[in-house]
């Protein structure tokens, strides 16, 4: 039994890596995707022309960008369609009933990343997410040898990402004590 109408996703010409640059346009959901890309150390720009609610404004912006070959026409992800067709229940909307809630955003992000990212990029994203969580850790006993080993391990993992050419300076916004 099939209970949802799944939106078909078109695979990109080439799966994306952390070295690729991204532009997210149009809505507040583009802001959500842009924030996640930035947290995962992607080079991204979000709504650089402001939030575009009007289809005419969006069309003109895309046309200008395509004329400059900034991206291809089929590089746009159908987040709105997924929200409306697959997640059509109000439990997937925030309290204002207009914006997706965290569960919907997570669902759409999973579809986005699994469709567009290379397998090794997905692994790097998991490592970056794990490191962000590790940097948020607050030890009960910071002077223990276990915590010192934990800090050394995190620094080693961070240096491994930096060796790949990633800017890791934002990973420790909340520094370990």
Q: What is the pLDDT of residues 67-116, one digit of tens each?
A: 766 555 556 888 888 988 899 889 999 999 888 999 999 999 999 999 98
Q: Is the residue at 11 inside a domain?
A: no
Q: What residue numbers bound the domain in which 95 lies? A: 21-117
Query: Are 150 and 83 within one domain?
Result: no
Distance CA 1, CA 24 (A): 35
Distance CA 6, CA 166 (A): 35
pLDDT of residue 75: 65
The pLDDT of residue 25 is above 80: no
Query: Are 78 and 126 within one domain?
Result: no
Global pTM? 0.73
Query: Are 84 and 166 within one domain?
Result: no
Query: Are 78 and 107 within one domain?
Result: yes
Name the nearest CA neighbour of 22 among 65, 58, 57, 56. Answer: 65
Backbone angles phi, psi at 46, to 5 degrees: -120, 130
Calculated CA dihedral for residues 110, 116, 121, 123, nearest 10 degrees: 30
Query: Are 69 and 113 within one domain?
Result: yes
Q: Is the residue at 9 inside a domain?
A: no
What is the count of structural domains for the chain? 2
Q: What average pLDDT does the structure give for the chain? A: 84
Query: Are 137 and 57 within one domain?
Result: no
């Amino acid at each position: 039994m099939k209970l949802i109408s799944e939106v078909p996703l078109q695979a990109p010409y080439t799966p994306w890596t952390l070295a690729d640059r991204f532009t997210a346009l149009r809505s507040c959901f583009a802001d959500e995707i842009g924030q996640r890309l930035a947290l995962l150390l992607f080079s991204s720009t979000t709504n650089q022309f402001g939030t575009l609610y009007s289809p005419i404004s969006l069309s003109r912006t895309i046309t200008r960008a395509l004329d400059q070959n900034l991206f291809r026409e089929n590089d746009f992800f159908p987040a709105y369609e997924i929200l409306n067709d697959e997640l059509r229940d109000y439990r997937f909307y925030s309290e204002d009933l207009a914006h997706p809630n965290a569960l919907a955003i997570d669902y759409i992000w999973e579809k986005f990343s699994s469709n567009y990212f290379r397998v090794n990029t997905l692994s790097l994203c998991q490592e970056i997410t794990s490191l962000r969580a590790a940097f948020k850790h607050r030890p009960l006993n910071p002077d223990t040898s276990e915590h010192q080993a934990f800090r050394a391990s995190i620094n080693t993992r961070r240096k491994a990402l930096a060796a790949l050419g990633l800017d890791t300076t934002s990973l420790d916004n909340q520094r370990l004590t």
